[in-house]
Amino acid sequence: MTRKITVPQLGESVVEATVGQWHKQEGDTVAVGDVLVELETDKVDVEVGAEAAGVLVSIKQQTGVDVQIGEVLGEIEEGEGGRGERSEERGARGERREAREEEGERGVVEREDGERITPVARRLAEEQGVDWAQVKGSGTNDRITKQDIENYLRQQEEAGAAETAVPQDKAVSQPPPKAEAAEPETAGEGREERIRLSRRRRTIAQRLVEAQRTAAMLTTFNDVDMSAIMKLRQRRQESFQKQHGVKLGFMSFFVKAAIGALKAFPRLNAEIEGDEMILKHYYDIGMAVGAEEGLVVPVIREADRKSFAQIEQEIREFVQKAGDNSLSLEDLRGGTFTITNGGVFGSLLSTPILNPPQVGILGLHRIEERPVAYQGEVVIRPMMYVALSYDHRLVDGREAVQFLVRLKELIEDPEVLLLEG
């Protein structure tokens, strides 16, 4: 019996993926649970496992191809995993596979030319202006793959470089012209590198542009005196870490302060859907985290019900997961409001971009000692600029400014934050 390997459900709002690395090849035996192939989505990479033991008899979608939910990736011929097969059975299975491949090769000739190239390879050929009819395919049934197009482009570049290069013996025998200025250096191989964007990076780019195009986005700023929180952390850090096994950072204070400000100005915890405003009476706070493939935003669920220690522990786990690429779709699903901290990279000031469909995002920055006026005197204080980007379709400027004022009050007087928390 043959079982199809299909693209599984990929999570909320994710309907498409790109085929990544195949861990098994045609003819390999597999056991239940073996990882067959990785799928790259705009949020996380998903491993597709074998649901039956047997032999992987066909791979329908090669690496780099875009696929939809439910689309067939390959087929497994069920059995005892093939591990106990007799050699003659394996030989017969291989002969059947070769026969299918030979039949497929004949079928390619009969198809329209458009079927002789993978979708990803066709797109790359169009982008680079390559007549792919001139390219020799190396895939199944001589199908042209992305790698074939890249190899063709590389060969063309090398051929062009060879034509413009001056032979060494000729360069030696002919003296350079006397009265002419030196020619500019010819661009050599390796001065530029063309790398296809990952699905995650493409989606990030698309959503950022979409956010700027669809939202009436504005940013308002304020600055916060961090003295009180820094003193509190200094006093309580050792006992807090000893009790909870995690450091008391700044982020838990800002999560709690943001929730306090959201409760005072609930439109910043809403979204627009058609002609309606959806007010959310729960606080799932997204925390922007830098990862190798781009920014990801895992979500702290019901953050208003969690302690400082629980928030710090979740943030630490998110950073670790982002580092080893183990964030799950559930980690990234939803969110009502986002906080991003460019200060960890040294940013002094920035205008964060909304994370649709959310209508507010809080940007934090580095703490810097600056002279400020305090009770008629100029004093040096550790200050941080904070920025709130908001969708002006739903949030008025007055609300945005007052949101930051309330946030500033809670951060500068953490006793109020703790009492109201």
Catalytic sites, residue numbers: 392, 396
Nearest Cα to Cα of residue 23 among 74, 72, 69: 74
CB 226 within 8 A of CB 383: yes
At residue 314, the 3 state secondary structure works out as helix
CB 420 within 8 A of CB 260: yes
Measured CA distances, 374 to 47, 225, 369, 377, 380 (Å): 57, 11, 14, 5, 9
CB 46 within 8 A of CB 38: yes
Largest Cα–Cα distance of the chain, in whole Å?
94
Task: Tell me the one-letter amino acid at 378.
Answer: V
Please give the DSSP secondary-structure letter assigned to residue 187: P
Cα(236)–Cα(210) distance, integer angstroms: 44
- Show the DSSP H helices in 165-198 as ranges: 168-173
CB 105 within 8 A of CB 67: no
**CA dihedral for 292, 297, 302, 305, sign (positive or negative):** positive
Find how far residue 217's CA is from the centre of its chain.
23
Cα(30)–Cα(50) distance, integer angstroms: 7
> How many CA within 13 A on the CB side of residue 281?
0
Cα(174)–Cα(192) distance, integer angstroms: 31
